[in-house]
Structure 1
């Protein structure tokens, strides 16, 4: 939950952070073309940090314990999220995001392995589905933080606020709030114990072979599982981080233009737009929570492979539908409040279909590997896929500027996102090679 709180703070704060950090004149916004170029790079750098951390800490988790590794990773991503608030250029911001990614990626890998090992076989898919669903709760919490800071910033609350010599703004305050998960590390230090399966692995001597990529790739069974899992993760991660999470950027542009047209002053238009961007994020993650929960239910009935096939097809179709058609012009009014019709049904549907896949990853990847390689194998699937997926945001930017740039800012965004939906076909193509793990015990 808290790792996703920090990564979603980045998604929501990315646009205003780029506007400020890339500006040539203090107090003014950066050139939109420059922001469109560099924002995807910030995303890609964060994803590369996430992938690197997952690979490194996955090995550490197998060798030295799940609980200890979780403590280190939470402290790492909390600290560097806070440091992001004091960035002065794009490059130090990118450095902090990379190191934050190290912690986030590592925490996920060991957390999934830990939960998989402490739950009985029948309850394991539901517990792992709930674990992944809590990521949506973290994302929703970040959206409420964004909503609150945008309102306070619109009211001038941060105008004279200086911390450690740095003039504060809404996006900087969001990153400071992101240090709070460090408090969780204190609880982990005193209360969380290592899983019995990992302790048994240590006693049996398996820990000497634990966390070994040579062991992972030396056995044909584990090698095949790792490569198939990596392809499944690649498709979903590009779909979410290269397309889905940019829904807030697209809607931010549409909302800002709409509120300007209604006659609002520039500051008020931006404040209203940021509020609606937060609402978009909340709705997307409410849909995501329900999608992950639904996946954990129907995979129990239809099996892992069929559930993945349904989810990849749904994600591809719905993502293309939403980015091709969503707009701010269809509205209705309730109690004097204008609401955007497209947002209220398209965005939750987008979140439902895209994030359901991540419920599948949390359930499926730990089932592919034995205890001595579970953290390493899970992190390989998720994070090598994420390494390759780091090209997703850059590809979106390239399509927007080089291929569809002549269509204008909004339409180029739409065409680029729809084109990239083809990435979900990679996940479908990998499924025939994936083992079915439904109703089978964890390999030992």
Structure 2
């Protein structure tokens, strides 16, 4: 329960057990509702990115209903999507910390749905570009709002594996996008000017289903009690406890840990930035290293994926999607099968291990490729193994920055590191790797692999020294809230 008294300037100081009560909850159907309502948006992101890449050639064809070139789709539109994601993450991340998780995760999903629907009715290139940018804004905002809410609602025991699997579900969407494109671009089924539009419409339908579930996901009680709404936080947690107890069929264990905070309606951006970079400089270096490392490894493989297969192995351009499905499945299996180890073996060994191992495996792949020892099938198999570990590592980057900074800065921290990683991967990466993977010279492609592998391995080494042992610990133990008078303490010790 919470107690409160007013300070002279009119803000309340409260003592609450809300964090401990949320963290001790057993897994239940209520948590599955949170996962489905919030986490499935990553499937939409994977669907979006893959579909647009796959329909580029169709859009440029005569009779598509849109006067645009393939280069504009994969170049200008892709860059605008990335720019929108970065801008959306930063803007909506700031709003999420200020106005709450629920309000923003509804707004960002609504923006995504509207922009995607309007992309599907594009009649001119500028219209397509504009709504690709706005779709990116919605997706970028989702990353900040959703990761914040999930971490604050999921019990500490399960937080690592849930975060990894949710972030890894991007690749479920990628598989769906590849298969959907094959179906919707079949001219025997749909006219050239209709099939690609229907792919966007199906994304909207999936988003609407998610929205219906998401309406039942509550605001974060942690956000509520810090922002002057302690009564709402207490009432909400009590209702969650009653629902979970009914679902699991037994009473919940009592808690004796509390935290005392000075409530504040809002916290300035300067305070947030100072906290991240001055109070936690080692954690900031860790976050930057993880995001930049995974961004370059992924771009080293995926940016020239189709070109490598068609140039070196004569794979027909229409068949590269099947190879992509294989590596996408490997990407999802990594977080799915390794996720629980981040909660049991621990964050530091698993984060550093997945980063270093995937980097070393990509070095080995580069060596085999340079020797001419691989075929299209065996190269894809190598990529699949590399990305099995890399995907778990990359997903842990989002987990890391969402749990190692104080509650009041969480959404902005996620947004900042996501924006940096996305910009590095979506802007610098393509500029670099387009010069290396499209020349048809094996040594250039080897260099691309080696650059991605080196940065991924380096990030793994950094995490071996700087990663925070956050497994199975309350968020308030990992980083004390800025508004707290002290960390979590037992009730007797707290007085």
Q: TM-score range by the shorter chain?
A: 0.7 to 0.9
Q: Which residue in 1 is equivalent to 2:356?
A: 313
Q: Is 1:101 paired with 2:122? A: no
Q: Determine if contact 1:284/1:350 at 8 Å carries over to the other structure.
A: no
Give the Å deviation of 1:366: 2.1
- Check if 1:297 corresponds to 2:333: no
Q: Answer yes or no: is the 8 Å Cα contact 1:216–1:373 preserved in 2.
A: yes
Q: How far apart, CA to CA, are the structure 2 residues paired with 1:349 and 1:239?
A: 13
Quote the Cα distance in structure 2 between the aligned partners of 1:74 and 1:137: 19
CA offset at residue 84 of structure 1?
2.9
Shift of 1:417: 4.1
Distance 1:186 1:217, change over 3 A: closer
Does 2:422 match 1:386?
yes
State the 1:304 CA deviation.
2.0
In 2, Cα distance between equivalents of 1:425 and 1:92: 41
Aligned to 2:434: 397
The structure-2 alpha-carbon separation of the partners of 1:244 and 1:4, relative to structure 1 and needing over 3 Å to count, comes to farther
Give 1:251-290 correspondences, 5 Å limit. Answer: 253=310, 257-259=314-316, 273=318, 276-290=319-333
Pairwise CA distance, 1:392: 1.0
From 26, 42, 59, the equivalent of 1:4 is 42
Aligned to 2:400: 364
Match of 1:225 in 2: 283
Q: Is the 8 A contact 2:272 2:408 kept in 1?
A: no
Deviation at 1:380, TM superposition (A): 1.8
Q: Distance in 1 between matches of 2:430 and 2:142?
A: 23
Larger-gyration structure (1/2): 2
Shift of 1:308: 2.1
The 3 A distance-change label for structure 1 pair 438 and 123 is closer
Matched, 1:113 2:148: yes
Residue pair 2:94, 2:411 contacting (<8 A) in 1 also: yes
Q: Does 1:428 align with 2:460?
A: yes
Measured in 2, the distance between the counterparts of 1:7 and 1:324 equals 33
Kindly tell me the number of residue pairs found equivalent between the two proteins: 401
Contact map agreement 1:3 1:77 (CA 8 A) in 2: no
Give, in whole Å, the separation in 2 of the partners of 1:248 and 1:430.
Answer: 28
* Cα deviation, residue 195, structure 1: 1.8
Deviation by residue 1:191-234 (Cα, 9 ceiling, x = unmatched): 12112211111226645344x43122223224543343123112
Q: CA 1:52–1:227 in structure 2 vs 1: closer, same or farther (change >3 Å)?
A: farther
Distance 1:16 1:195, change over 3 A: closer
- 1:55 Cα deviation after fit: 1.3
> Partners of 1:51 and 1:10 in 2: how far apart?
16
The CA deviation at 1:317 is 3.0
How far does the alpha carbon of each residue in 1:252-309 deviate from its partner, in whole angstroms, 9 at most, with x for none?
Answer: 63699445xxxxxxxxxx6xx2xx4333333222212221134423333443233222
SS at match of 2:265: helix
2:470 pairs with one of 428, 433, 437: 437
Equivalents in 2 of 1:415, 1:93: separation in Å? 35
**Correspondent of 2:227 among 202, 207, 217:** 202
Unaligned runs of 5+ in 2: 1-38, 229-260, 482-495
Alpha-carbon distance in structure 1 between the residues aligned to 2:305 and 2:174: 13
Does residue 182 of structure 1 match 2:216?
no
2:158, 2:472 within 8 Å by CA — same for their partners in 1?
no
TM norm structure 1 = 0.77
Match in the other structure for 1:264: none
Higher helix share: 1
Pair 1:244 & 2:322 matched: no
Once the two structures are superposed, what CA deviation does each residue of 1:116-157 show, in whole Å capped at 9, x if it has no partner?
11122222212222322333322222233123224x33xx22
Any stretches of 5+ residues in structure 1 without a counterpart? 162-166, 260-269, 332-339
Structure 1 residues 83 and 300: alpha-carbon distance in aligned structure 2, compared to 1, 3 A threshold: same
Give the Å deviation of 1:104. 0.9
Output the CA distance in 1 between the equivalents of 2:454 and 2:374. Answer: 28
1:44, 1:393 within 8 Å by CA — same for their partners in 2? no
CA separation of 1:146/1:350 partners in 2, compared to 1, >3 Å: closer, same or farther?
A: farther
Conserved? CA contact 2:111–2:135, under 8 Å: yes
